[in-house]
Homo-oligomer: A and B are copies of this chain.
Amino acid sequence: MDFSSKFLENAVNEVSRLPGIGKRTALRLVLHLLKQPKEHTKYLTEALTQLRNEVKSCKRCHNISDTILCDICSNSNRNEEIVCVVEDIRDVMAIENTGQYRGLYHVLGGKISPIEGVGPQNLNIESLVEKVKNKEVKELIFALSSTMEGDTTNFYIYKQIEKYDVTTSTIARGIAVGDELEYADEITLGRSIINRIPFANSLKS
């Protein structure tokens, strides 16, 4: 791409460094900003700068927060003895949206993935093991992706904490609500049969 302006080229290059945004999309976004009043660009850049410089990581659960302890960790109505282990803050938002969970979270910040160069030392695993060791936690719920990396991470953490007195569970895998059996894959369907639940329980919620 040949640009008629160095400023334009520079802006397009920076925007296209974002994940999933190629040069053409970047050009479209940047030209959109040029057509809008200058305030739009000002608000956008200020919001990003402020976020990057001001935002904190909750020192207890590593969720993104404006304060030292996030709103969930500092809420006295939540059950502090149950901790749900998730990959990132989007998972916290997703689980919070269900309204079904009243415990705390622990955000790992990713999952073990040798291909992407992410090892256990890059994740918030040590602080989780500390919590278990100090008996702050009675139950750990693993809520990671059902992928090779997710399972590896689950297993790694499990090996670190199995010697301590803590209950561990993993979120149920099975047929999604609304799904038809014939379209489910065999592994999911197989697991949903092995991990069947009393019918009366399925009437709840």
Interface size of A in residues (CB-CB distance below 8 Å): 58
User: Within the complex, what minimum Cβ distance (angstroms) separates A60 from chain B?
Assistant: 12
Q: For A51, what are the chain B residues with a Cβ–Cβ distance below 8 Å?
A: 5, 7-8, 10-11, 30, 33-34, 41
Instruction: Count identical subunits in the complex.
Output: 2
Task: Say whether A47 contacts B10, CB under 8 Å.
Answer: yes
Q: For A20, what are the chain B residues with a Cβ–Cβ distance below 8 Å?
A: 25, 28
Task: Say whether B5 contacts A64, CB under 8 Å.
Answer: yes
Q: For A19, what are the chain B residues with a Cβ–Cβ distance below 8 Å?
A: 28-29, 32
The B-contacting residues of A in range 115-170, CB under 8 angstroms, are: none
A-to-B contact residues, CB < 8 Å: 1-8, 10-11, 13-15, 17-21, 25, 27-34, 38, 40-45, 47-55, 58, 63-66, 70-72, 88-90, 92-93, 96-97
